[in-house]
Amino acid sequence: MKSFSIDDEQLARLVCALTGDELARHFNHYTDFVAQAEWGPDTPVGEDGAELTQEQLEACARRFCSFFDKPADSLITAASDTFGSWSQQVKQLIEKDLRTFRFHPATQGGVAEARHSADEVWQDARMIASLMHGRRRIITMVSTHSLFGFVTSVLAPNLQHLSVVDGRAMSPDLLADSLTFGDILIATPTLWRYLAQTLPSFPNNVMGLSFGEPLMLDLSAELREMGLGAMRELYGSTETGIIGWRDTPSEPFVLFDHWAADGEKLVRTCPDGQVRELTAMDHLLWEGDRTFSLAGRRDGAVQIGAVNVFPQKIGEIIAEHPDIAGCNVRVAQRSGALDRLIAHIDLNAGVSPNQDMAWRVDEWCRKKLRPPERPRIYVFGQVS
């Protein structure tokens, strides 16, 4: 795939993002997006920088190689490396040959990979680039390590020759001052909810781009009332690729040109002319040959902060606590507020549902669950 282009700064930003995700997935070490946004090509991976241990350093290097489907030992590492030196090594590899990407979806096990040919990722980028036509600049609030983040804030902007600014470290006041006529602002619905609560308004002709979880109609309307010129929402998944888009939550999604419906299946026409059948992660309610709305997840996942979580699995993990007999987790959806998880916990006979018990459960959840998986409310009952 010869037409692919990723510059040095984008590669360094990508390796920083992959490092943050790898630390969270396999070391239970969460680096907030503000800290990640401050990492750059000159940031040491070890002391006085990201402070990676030797084990973490090796795992993150393997993850960077894996992203481009290169052998795990392709990257020669040392504690004195910088993120920029890592990206320069991989740059030499992908300039010679780049055929496949490997993305990590937020699955129940947290370790599955989704492989996509580089040509198909490029095909997705061309479709997204068409939605960006006529824009001046992009400010992104999302990381580049995911399929959607990579396509929307690296590949598609490159096709339209748009500069990209990482807005994750910006305060609301700085972001408000930075937005200008013709910009695109990329964020997940959870972040859009935060922006709606913290920004005073939007300049004329700013377009929003949203993905990762459903965009609710009340939030979309609130953003438009604040002056947002347009809001485009993408649909798809890490497993399938980017499937469709719409301009408002009140309308159905529209398939991109290389997709077609075939009963319960979706059919993708690939750049090489091959045709593949895929199943969407959601049940799709077709309203025309090429338009659809969503009718619930197939795998029982819900989305908290643009991350797929599985309430049944979360309940099973909480129920492993020695004082707990059973746990049921549900999602509380509130108009004008973020979705949150509520855990209904049955304690073993003789265990008191007091504050100390709540702290023990909370500590258990912090050790066993990722931040988006942790319930915000505990409701205690007791087995008689």
**pLDDT for the residue numbered 108:** 46
On whether residue 117 sits in a domain, the answer given is yes
The answer, yes or no, to whether residue 1 has pLDDT greater than 50, is no
Mark whether 149 and 223 lie in a shared domain. yes
Distance CA 190, CA 219 (A): 10
Here the tokens at position 228 are 């947002």
CB 244 within 8 A of CB 235: yes
Here the tokens at position 173 are 């006041």
Mark whether 228 and 267 lie in a shared domain. yes
Backbone angles phi, psi at 137, to 5 degrees: -165, 160
Element of type H or E holding 62: helix 54-67
Q: What is the pLDDT of residues 79-131, one digit of tens each?
A: 899 999 999 998 988 988 899 999 988 654 444 789 999 999 999 999 999 99
Mark whether 1 and 136 lie in a shared domain. no
Q: What is the pLDDT of residues 16-29, one digit of tens each?
A: 999 999 998 888 88
Calculate the alpha carbon distances from 42 to 39, 85, 148, 180, 336 in Å. 8, 8, 26, 29, 41
Asked which of 69, 98, 127 is the last residue of a domain, the reply is 98
Here the tokens at position 232 are 């485009």
Here the tokens at position 252 are 């159905």
What residues contact 367, with CB distance under 8 A and at least 6 apart? 28
Here the tokens at position 290 are 């090429």
On whether residue 131 sits in a domain, the answer given is yes
Mark whether 94 and 156 lie in a shared domain. no
**How many C-beta atoms lie closer than 10 Å to residue 365's C-beta?**
21
Mark whether 94 and 136 lie in a shared domain. no
DSSP symbol at 1: -
User: What is the span of the domain harbouring residue 345?
Assistant: 310-382
Mark whether 335 and 276 lie in a shared domain. no
* CATH at residue 356: 3.30.300.30
Q: What is the pLDDT of residues 136-176, one digit of tens each?
A: 999 999 999 999 999 999 999 999 999 999 999 899 999 99
Number of domains in the chain: 3
Q: pTM for the complete prediction?
A: 0.83
On whether residue 329 sits in a domain, the answer given is yes
Which carries the bigger pLDDT value, residue 281 or residue 256?
Answer: 256
